[in-house]
A and B are shown apart, each in its own frame.
Chain A
């Protein structure tokens, strides 16, 4: 993968920042620890996956949102308080859990698209799709894959949620974002609730 280190770092930051932003309710209500991961680490965990894509003119960026279909994550979601001050919707069934993370995936992708607009003019965003549990991270690899990055959120060494970014392009693709792009949004993010 002939790709600049800076772009890789930027895509990883976009992933991390967007996931933090999309999952802020879960992160605020829990003590999940965040850490970078690689393909092999993430493959060890059996988790449900949601796929989303941002398309540019000559590239695409695919995000995977991984989550454990477990009581631990359900407990965290239940403890979150929605904007209206009432508990979050039920996530007892797998379909309801999927629906919760589909919504989170939309927020993740929307935030990532907003950040990518700083470097790219024309972008489009897909709707999220739930992948079957058979799929593996290796299935995401092809000749056009330029870079990938992963971040996991754990509770007591148990991975409950994770995010992955895969960048596919035939040619060079440079994403140039500095700290101000992330810091500014973090600073104003809370204001959006008012």
Chain B
């Protein structure tokens, strides 16, 4: 029993010893690994430092100018972008305004079409003025004919007045031949002759007025006739130009 106990104690001692040795060995390996890690970290820091130094050495020569150019380009692009953005906003606003104007224009065009159609109808209606001119023409022609008739009547009246004067003269002669008995009749004959002469003078004035009246009537007739032609030509020209308008 004692031997067994002693043997177990020895085994425990040997095992403990083995574990202690193994622990020491592991501890040593860990320390070595830690040292290597520290060295690697140091080398990395050194490399970073070297890299930073290298970057700092190269930056002024090329990267800084590139950087400045890129910065300028960036600023320029940024400005352009802002401008574009502003223009876009402006264009959007103008587009909205244009849409409003287009709507107004469309509305106005619709109104214009209605007005144009009305104008075309009015012009077509105005062509009927030809009938009015023809009516004036007929009325003035009647006036001219009437004037001619009055002139003919005036000629007839003039003949009667002349015959009356001659008759009055004959009556005066006959009264003179009758002597004392014809004295009263001679006075009447002289009065008749005097009236006939006055009638002749009045008739001559009337003739002169009829002559003037003829010229006024014919010139008015011709003026209306020529003006009618002028107006109808103008209406036709205006009408054809109106038809050329395409809304």
Contacts and interface: CB of A to CB of B under 8 A. Distances in A.
Interface in A131-161: 131-132, 134-136, 139-140
A129 B229 contact: no
* Leading 4 A-B pairs by shortest Cβ distance: A124-B230, A124-B229, A55-B226, A126-B222
A36 B31 CA distance: 147
A53 B211 contact: no
The size bracket of the interface on B is 20 to 34
Contacts of B219: 51, 53, 60, 62
27 contacts: A51-B219, A51-B222, A53-B222, A53-B223, A55-B222, A55-B223, A55-B230, A56-B230, A62-B219, A62-B222, A122-B234, A123-B226, A123-B230, A124-B228, A125-B226, A126-B222, A127-B222, A127-B225, A129-B144, A131-B215, A131-B218, A132-B148, A132-B151, A134-B214, A139-B212, A139-B214, A140-B215
A126 B225 contact: yes
Contacts of A122: 230, 233-234
Given A122-B234, A124-B233, A132-B151, A53 B225 contact: yes
A138 to B, nearest CB: 8
Contacts of B225: 53, 124, 126-127
A88 B246 CA distance: 53
B213 to A, nearest CB: 9
Count chain B CB atoms within 10 A of each CB in A60, A122, A124, A125 and give the residue with the most: A124
Contacts of A57: 230
A167 interface: no
A52 to B, nearest CB: 7
Nearest to B230: A124
Interface in B220-247: 221-223, 225-231, 233-234
Count chain A CB atoms within 10 A of each CB in B219, B229, B233 and give the residue with the most: B219
A131 B228 contact: no
Contacts, number: 73
Contacts of A125: 226, 229
Contacts of A136: 211
B207 interface: yes
Contacts of A62: 219, 222
Contacts of A65: none
Contacts of B226: 53-55, 60, 123-126
Nearest to A134: B211
A58 to B, nearest CB: 11
Given A134-B151, A139-B211, A126 B223 contact: yes
B197 interface: no
B210 interface: yes
Interface string A30-56: 000000000000000000000111111
Contacts of A139: 211-212, 214-216
Contact of B227 (A55, A129, A140): A55
Interface in B144-163: 144, 148, 151
Contacts of B207: 134
B157 to A, nearest CB: 14
Contact of B218 (A51, A123, A124, A134): A51
Interface in A91-137: 122-127, 129, 131-132, 134-136
Nearest to B211: A134
A50 B233 CA distance: 25
A125 B221 CA distance: 12
Nearest to A130: B218
